[in-house]
Amino acid sequence: MAEWYRNSDGWEDGHEHIDLGYDGAFIAYRRKVLNGEVIYEGDFRDATTGEKVAAFLIVLIDEDNINHWMHAEIIPMEEEADQEAGQK
């Protein structure tokens, strides 16, 4: 299990390799733990194409156990920026 260090901005710094099975792998460098959700920031490597992209991994968790994932979604950082630009 990775060690995470809290920053003053609410994010935690660390390093964690997350195996996503057939989808690929995620290397997390930062995370933010919220009520029922963990947001990881890092790099996603697609198992099918081998492509590596900067992304967020959004994980819905059991609030009693951060290791019990209910759902996970990968959002490329480019897509996140496009969504934010559309909201302005």
pLDDT digits (tens, 9 = 90+) for 2-43: 789 999 898 999 999 999 998 999 999 999 998 899 999 999
Range of the domain at 80: 4-87
**Residues 54-67: tens digit of each pLDDT:** 999 999 998 788 88
Instruction: Assess contact for 10 and 24: CB atoms under 8 A.
Output: no
Number of compact structural domains in the chain: 1
86 has pLDDT over 80: no
With CA atoms as reference, report the closest residue to 27 among 14, 8, 12, 11: 14
Residue 72, pLDDT above cutoff 90? yes
- The pTM is what? 0.81
